Structure 1
Amino acid sequence: MSVTAQDLIQAAKQVKDKHATTYFKMGAAVLTKSGKVFTGCSIKCAVSPCSMCAERVAIFKAVSEGHKEFEALAVIGDNDTVKVSVCGCCRQLMREYSRNMKVHCANHKCEYSTYTLDMLLPHEYGPSL
């Protein structure tokens, strides 16, 4: 069975409420090339450098388990109308591991838009350029 964008969005939605934040809730799910899904929630605090985005939590979990190539990532927030996006730090991290991954950005109703990493990070920087 292949993992769809909706499957990833649902996985991200399920983990979103495990957040550790008083700000906004976000959840993420990343699909590895081998077909495994890792999830993460936002972990925020008043001192920004101590915080971690849901996307990076999911990717770090995958990398710590030996997965370093990704097919897709879904991110979801709490807003019913606005589809969340991925911050610059997360875009750079995704570029370092999988330049061709798809990114599904969803609102709380699971309505989403799909982007390529090239669309989100058009002027890339990093190894192998």
Structure 2
Amino acid sequence: MNLLIEAASRSLEKAYNPYSGLSVGCALKTSSGKIYDGVNIENSVFGLTMCAERVAVFKAVSEGNVDIEQIALVASTGKPVYPCGACRQVLFEFNPNTKIHLSNGKTLVLMEILPFAFSRDALS
């Protein structure tokens, strides 16, 4: 967990946040042990802003790593931040049991904070 929190903290300086001023860093670990980081990337069209979690997930998936085991989140405010609803759904696609490590030392399981996720079962 500490390794992921440290990786997420290091990524904060790369955040692009000219509108909110809030930097968010994420680090995720796949079952292969590889770590991917991500930062929030804002846009003047706010709906096009991308969260740190999705940036990290998309980096991992684009390299063929889809078995996400855990993530860590850190914000420039020093307060713990939780994944937004969109990020929770994206994480669910790859592992509903993803562990989420917060900067205050708390660890959650994705299914605890997204109990009624939309899944591929709904498509059949």
TM-score, normalising length from structure 2?
0.92
Identical columns (%): 37
Out of 11, 15, 18, which is 2:11 matched to?
A: 15
1:28 aligns with 2:26: yes
Q: Who is 1:85 aligned against?
A: 82
Out of 56, 62, 66, which is 2:54 matched to?
A: 56
- Give the unaligned 5+ runs of structure 2: none
Q: Who is 1:95 aligned against?
A: 92
- Kindly indicate which of the two structures has a greater share of residues assigned to helix: 2
Moved over 3 A (4+): none
Give, in whole Å, the separation in 1 of the partners of 2:50 and 2:119: 21
Question: Alpha-carbon deviation of 1:45?
Answer: 2.0
Question: Alpha-carbon deviation of 1:126?
Answer: 1.4
TM-score, normalising length from structure 1?
0.88
Q: Who is 2:40 aligned against?
A: 42
Q: Count matched residues.
A: 120
1:126 aligns with 2:119: yes
Question: Alpha-carbon deviation of 1:112?
Answer: 2.5
Deviation readout 1:33-74 (Å, 9 max, x if unpaired): 110000011101232221100000000000000000111001
Alignment of 1:61-72 (within 5 A): 61-72=59-70
Give, in whole Å, the separation in 2 of the partners of 1:20 and 1:40: 11
Give, in whole Å, the separation in 2 of the partners of 1:30 and 1:114: 14
Give, in whole Å, the separation in 2 of the partners of 1:89 and 1:32: 20
